[in-house]
Amino acid sequence: MLPAMVKKPRIVIVGPGRLGSALTLELKQAGYRISEIISRKSPASRREGAALARKVKARASTCDNPHLDADIVWFCVPDREIAAAARQLALVIDWKKKIAFHSSGALLSDELDSLRRRGAAVASVHPLMTFVYGSVPSLSGVHFAVEGDTAAVDAARRIVRDLRGEVFTIPKQHKAAYHAWGAFASPLLVATLVTAEQVARKAGLSAAESRKKMLPIVRQTVANYELLGPAGAFSGPIVRGDAEIVRKHLQVLKKIPEARNVYRALARVALRHLPVRNRAKLKEALEL
Ligand SMILES: NC(=O)c1ccc[n+]([C@@H]2O[C@H](COP(=O)([O-])OP(=O)(O)OC[C@H]3O[C@@H](n4cnc5c(N)ncnc54)[C@H](OP(=O)(O)O)[C@@H]3O)[C@@H](O)[C@H]2O)c1
């Protein structure tokens, strides 16, 4: 354990965006001192940074005048900016005995190599959770995929435990697949729901109406998935083997080719991985 790690470490957050804002508030709530919020220097970014800093009584600064007076620097910038943001801060302080994290699900801790070379222990620390403006999700029970240097991984374990989350280590070679999995769990789930909204239009419902009307079935489906697993949660014409209904769906979806492609792709997955009746006829219907 690094000497600075005996007490709760002080943390700098770089990037007061969706993740950075929520994480800052959660860390503060868990008893961590956030010493600084570093934003970009555009007026809008500075405003975001200053507003967040006020909430947790931290210093607000920009990437060209940082103080970095902390034990841990947590990069919450977009994936494509991580390496450059790290390089920009690499020469500002002595990084020996410091720890740096980034939170990309797909990229390796190696994005922080410029800091590693200067003595920092680095890790990627990715919460398997969605962060959007307007909501601060609880991190209790959230799984964090961690990969990197031992001292940094150990520090991440302690922080995640204080956030009441769970840590699991992810081998470097699995990170891209891990993150693609995460994409299905949230952003592509939302994309599926937006596809459903497009289809609802063909049934004469506005997007807002369809959203309101389908939320109970969406919620119940997720609840069934949790309680009964995928096979138990699977209902509809495919599990019943109603190939003619599937044909009808595909016919009407000719008017929305995008939705038709999604339907066929997902139905093929169902045919391979879920219980279905009348598989051969369903397959035939899907190939038309
Ligand atoms: N959102 C999620 O659900 C989620 C979940 C897990 C992990 N993550 C990870 O979290 C990281 C951030 O994602 P996000 O969704 O929070 O992105 P975001 O909402 O776009 O926030 C990024 C923030 O970083 C700032 N920024 C960009 N370059 C910077 C620099 N050089 N110095 C200081 N600040 C800089 C941006 O400022 P401007 O607005 O001025 O550009 C913005 O405030 C990514 O690595 C992502 O993979 C996100």
* Nearest atom, ligand 1, residue 106 CA: 47
Q: Give the pLDDT band of residue 2 (cuts 50, 70, 90).
A: low
Q: Is the CB of 76 under 6 A from ligand 1?
A: yes
> How far from 44 is each of 62, 80, 89, 133, CA to CA, in Å?
12, 20, 21, 15
Q: Tell me, using a 6 A CB cutoff, whether residue 264 lines ligand 1.
A: no
Span 62-86, average pLDDT: 97
Write out the H or E segment, with its range, that includes residue 120.
none
Rounded mean pLDDT of 235-243? 97
Q: What tens digit of pLDDT does each residue of 4-26 get?
A: 456 899 999 999 999 999 999 99
Which atom number of ligand 1 is nearest to the Cα of residue 128? Answer: 6
What is the percentage of the chain residues whose pLDDT exceeds 90? 97
The per-residue pLDDT for 288 is: 74
pLDDT tens per residue, range 30-40: 999 999 999 99
Q: Model confidence over 142-152: pLDDT tens digits?
A: 999 999 999 99
Residue nearest atom 48 in ligand 1 by C-alpha distance: 19
- In this predicted structure, the answer to whether residue 3 has a pLDDT above a threshold of 80 is no
Domain 11-173 sits in CATH at 3.40.50.720
When pLDDT is averaged across residues 116-129 and rounded to a whole number, the result is 98
Tokens of 223: 């609840």
Query: Does 66 sit in the ligand 1 pocket, CB within 6 Å?
Result: no
Give the dihedral sign, CA 76/82/85/87: positive
Which ligand 1 atom is the nearest neighbour of the CA of 16? Answer: 43
Residue 42 has pLDDT above 90, yes or no: yes
Q: Does 43 score more than 50 pLDDT?
A: yes
Confirm or reject: Cβ of 109 under 6 Å from ligand 1. Answer: no
> How many other CB atoms sit within 10 Å of the CB of residue 220?
12
- The atom of ligand 1 lying closest to the CA of 85 is 31
Q: Do 69 and 58 touch, CB atoms closer than 8 A?
A: no
pLDDT at 186 > cutoff 80? yes
